[in-house]
Structure 1
Amino acid sequence: MKPVRSISALAAAWVFAAAVCPSVGSAQDAPAAAPNVIVEVRVEGNKFRSVSAVLADVKLHEGQAYSDKAVRADEQRLLKTRRYSQVSAVKTQTDKGVIVTFKVVERPAVESVVYQGNKALKDKDLRGSLSFGAGDPIDPYMIESGLQAIRSQHRSAGFYKAAVSYDKAELAKTGKLTYRIVEGPKAYLKKIRFKNNRAMSTRKLKGAIKSRRRIWPFTTGALDLETAERDVVDLRNFYHGEGYLGAQVGHELTFKGKAATLTFLIEEGIRSRIGKTTFAGATVFSAAEIDRHLKLTSGEFYNDLVLRRDREKIQALYGEIGYVDAAATVKTVYTAKPGLVDLAYTVAEGKQYRVGRIDIRGNTVTKMNVIRRQLQFRPGQLYDTVAAEQT
């Protein structure tokens, strides 16, 4: 009977072991967790652009671990191209891995770009001025920018009255963008004159403008109305900078055949002097202390360049005694007396700083003590922005 009990006990032990220790075969039969790896990236909803063209703006790829953050980033990346009005990504889990599908709603695209009426400039030259082309989304801003670029090209070539338009209805209906160009007459600048300039020499004024008369073969002298209009602004700013704050500038064109004369009409007015100077927000220095360091003081002629240097000088005064963030702004205040203006400074002093630890790095040849002897500041001293720049 003992052998029987022994066998029964052994059998019971085997059954218990099988219960608590699953066999290798049973482990293999259990379903494995689906891998979190991208096995495919798809595109749906694309009508104008190919799948490969859409995915060219996507960073997700097969074999990459799936990440919600990476998917959201690709959605934003596609939207920023402005080719799509809507973008959403859908995750599909399969036994083999993850399928990511980008569902897009494309903006209407430009089917073709055509130029009509351009005789002097070739299509390829005009095409080079555009930042878009066939297949790109219809973007009113970009199309208008292209129109202005084409017009500027013609005007720079001397077609000073060139006009450009396009048919919005045709574009919306067919996707065809046709730029219609009316080149108009061509002219060149034979002469540039200045009228009523007494305080400023013609030579100085010519240096302030961009228009140039024809000096063949060095300059074409192409007449460009936009450049002439900008020259008017530049001349006015030039006079203002020299203290003629009331100066007015205009221009007129006269023609003899294709030869044009551009005349700038100038009213210089009175050259302004400085009245009083105030310094709001200044507590570290008195007004007299600041004023003593400035060039543009009471009685001096107004000058933009000198004023800018004076403002920088105020900031340097504060910077020398540790006011690293000190900033000065200035406004020109017109007085009741013609030709007299006041200067109103506003000073934001900020906090005062001292030098802390000084670290020197990258010196492979010069010894540390030699470099330190050349420094103009030491730990504990007030930080000097001027000395720091000179070191």
Structure 2
Amino acid sequence: MTVDRFDVTVARLVMILVIVCGWTPSCRLSGQERANPVSAPAATPAVPVADSRGSESPLEGGKTPQGIVLGVTVEGNDAVKESRIFAELRTRVDRKFDPEVTKADVRRLYKTGLFRNIKTLTRSTPEGVYVVFKVFEQPTVRYVKYIGNRYYKDKKLDKETGLKVGDAQSRFNVEDGRRRVEEYYRSKGFVKATVTILEGTNPGDRGVIYVVNEGPLVRVGRIEFVGNDPDLVRDGRLKSLISTKTPILGYFIRGQLDRSKIEEDTERLTGYYRSLGYFRARIDRELSFDESGNWVTLRFIIDEGQRFRIRSVAIQGNERFTGESLQDQLKLASGDYFNLSTMNRDVGMLRDLYGGQGYVYADIKADPRFLEEPGQLDLIYKIEEGAQYRVGQVNVHIAGEFPHTRESVILKRLSLYPGEIIDIREVRSSERRLKSSQLFINDPSQGRPPAINVKPREFDVTADDVAVNPPLTKRRTLGRGQSPSRLSRDP
């Protein structure tokens, strides 16, 4: 048995070698040729195949070199390693020479951004063709240094700039790295931080040096709200909505001033007020630094404006239920202040009401319409009921390396029976029972939790009306069921 395993291992290694090297003499010759490029007869001159942009040039006698590639060499590279260049080439030893492949090689080399000019030369012999890639390198980054950084180490700033030794050195990359470092400092509370470029933008520069002036670390000492009605919205509620926080444990944890977060907080507060019916609410912010410059008071100035009331509530498109019966179920009514959360709950209630009667694809939308009268709006619920469905085929798909759970165990936990009208609330209830049964994985990092999917046959003739899909789909077993059908609309 040991010998067999050894043989298998060798075979796998051989397969890898075949994939990587092609198992040709090039595997043995490539290293020698790179160290000592094979010279062709002196009487055969080098012939250009492509100019600096890979366009074809006239060849000897107007003919393209023919034969097998005997050698591939690179000239002119200094900072860029030869292995990095060969990784982009498809022109290989012991393959038939193809000028189109060579031009594609040139294009790939240009895309690396490491070269400003590339020439390709060929040398023909009776035995075959030698190919030479002559490259002219872009200036490359040989070092990246930072001066003045005390709070963050060089390794952390390297991640922010994205610059690495060996990358093409360009004014754009260096300036972009400067901007990234400066933005990073300011997002961490160093709001007065500046970063300048000492080296890296001049043609003769071989590296990049940034000078960092960190400035003081500024923290938010207080957060205040001005202009809000305390009877409607208290400061504590508004503070729970924003991501900017004051420090805890005195000084060391959180509280750094981040202007981008303050902008997001302003938009979040504005959206909250408008969800309460203050559609013309405006919110501004103000920063007040203390004498040390290390602490700031953040003040949100709120202009609530007029709060909108609902003049009337209407329902359109309903046929299965009467308008009065639906309106009796709504929380928002005429004369109430508009509230986005309550409106969304009403939409969900209507969907559950229709879904409980088999209208699982009923489309229900709320449409607030503003009126010419100030502070007034009409609220219209638009309903597209769709078709009514009943439970048809129930298929169970069990996944895992060695699934041992019987399908009957799963079916017993479902309150869905073929032939009955589908109740979307029972679908969700059955799904909750499966998740709490501890039969399946509920950790999303290990796989998908149990789920019930409802699929009408009219969309997919092979689909199941209800499918239970536990996580880690590797093996599936088909369960039982009857053919599904759609109910006709009640007269």
TM-score (norm 2): 0.53
Distance in 2 of aligned mates of 1:188 and 1:218: 10
Structure 1 residues 161 and 358 mapped into 2: Cα distance closer, same or farther (>3 Å)? same
Mapped to 1, the partners of 2:217 and 2:302 lie a distance apart of 27
**Residues 339-389 of structure 1: per-residue CA shift (max 9 Å, x gap):** 333334455555544433222354987766665454322223343333222
Counterpart in 2 of 1:201? 234
2:352 is equivalent to residue 316 of structure 1: yes
Report whether the alignment pairs 1:211 with 2:244. Answer: yes
Contact 1:43 1:54 in 2 (8 A): no
Contact map agreement 1:273 1:340 (CA 8 A) in 2: yes
Deviation, 1:112, is: 4.5
Equivalent residue runs for 1:106-185 within 5 Å? 112-116=143-147, 118-136=149-167, 146-147=177-178, 149-164=180-195, 170=201, 176-177=207-208, 179=210, 181-185=212-216
Residues 1-391 of structure 1 mapped to structure 2, 5 A cutoff: 49-53=80-84, 112-116=143-147, 118-136=149-167, 146-147=177-178, 149-164=180-195, 170=201, 176-177=207-208, 179=210, 181-198=212-229, 199-215=232-248, 216-219=250-253, 221-258=255-292, 259-278=295-314, 282-285=317-320, 288=323, 289-347=325-383, 349-362=385-398, 371-389=410-428, 390-391=430-431
C-alpha deviation, 1:127, in angstroms: 1.8
Q: Secondary structure at the match of 1:222?
A: coil
CA spacing shift, 1:53–1:377, aligned 2, 3 Å: same
- Counterpart of 1:8? none
* Contact 2:169/2:200 (8 A) holds in 1: no
In structure 2, C-alpha distance between the alignment counterparts of 1:43 and 1:311, rounded to whole Å: 70
* Residue 274 of structure 1: how far off its partner (Å): 2.7
C-alpha deviation, 1:44, in angstroms: 7.1
Q: Distance in 1 between matches of 2:170 and 2:389?
A: 52
Partners of 1:146 and 1:226 in 2: CA distance: 19
1:148 is displaced (CA, Å) by 5.1
Against the structure 1 CA distance between its residues 368 and 176, is the aligned structure 2 distance closer, same or farther, given a 3 Å change threshold? closer
CA distance in 2, matches of 1:137, 1:231: 39
Structure with a larger share of its residues in helix: 1
Structure showing greater Rg = 1
CA change 1:365–1:170 in 2 (3 A) is closer
Quick check: 2:170–2:201 contact (8 Å CA) kept in 1?
A: no
Aligned-CA RMSD value:
5.4
| Maintained 8 Å contact 1:114/1:178 | yes
Amino acid at match of 1:202: D
Instruction: Measure how far apart 1:265 and its partner are.
Output: 1.0
Asked if 2 retains the 8 angstrom alpha-carbon contact of 1:43 and 1:51, the reply is no
Which amino acid letter does the alignment assign opposite residue 245 of structure 2? R
Q: Give the gaps of 5 or more residues in structure 2.
A: 1-21, 31-71, 94-104, 117-131, 432-491
- Supply the distance in 1 between the matched residues of 2:113 and 2:387 (Cα, whole angstroms): 46
Report if the CA contact (8 A) 1:111-1:174 is conserved. Answer: no
How much has 1:266 moved relative to structure 2?
1.2
Decide whether aligned partners of structure 1 residues 317 and 184 sit closer, same or farther in structure 2, where only a CA change above 3 A counts: same
Could you report, residue by residue, the CA deviation over 1:242-287 in whole angstroms, capped at 9, with x for unpaired residues? 332222111112223123222211112233333334556x354467
Gaps of 5+ in 1: 1-35, 63-73, 86-100
Letter in 2 for 1:232: T
Distance 2:108 2:257 in 1: 44
For structure 1, which segment, 253-262 or 339-348, has the greater mean C-alpha deviation from structure 2 after superposition? 339-348
How has the CA–CA distance of structure 1 residues 372 and 187 changed in structure 2, closer, same or farther, with 3 Å as cutoff?
A: closer
Q: Distance in 1 between matches of 2:133 and 2:362?
A: 52
Aligned equivalents of 1:333, 1:243: Cα separation in 2? 12
- My pick for the range that moved more, 175-184 or 215-224, is 175-184
Kindly tell me: are residues 49 and 287 of structure 1, through their superposed partners in 2, closer, same or farther at Cα, counting changes over 3 Å? Answer: farther
SS at match of 2:347: helix
Give, in whole Å, the separation in 1 of the partners of 2:167 and 2:382.
50
1:335 Cα offset (Å): 2.4
Per-residue Cα deviation, 1:153-180 (whole angstroms, up to 9, x for no partner): 3224432233446699927885755555
- Displacement of 1:231 in angstroms is 2.2
What SS is found at the alignment partner of 2:334?
Answer: coil
Tell me the amino acid that sits aligned with residue 221 of structure 1: G
Amino-acid identity (%)? 31
Comparing 102-111 with 144-153, greater Cα deviation is found at: 102-111
The 1:362–1:193 alpha-carbon spacing in structure 2 relative to 1, beyond 3 Å, is closer
Counterpart CA distance in 2 for 1:315 and 1:141 is: 54
One-letter code aligned to 1:205: L
Q: State the aligned residue count.
A: 352
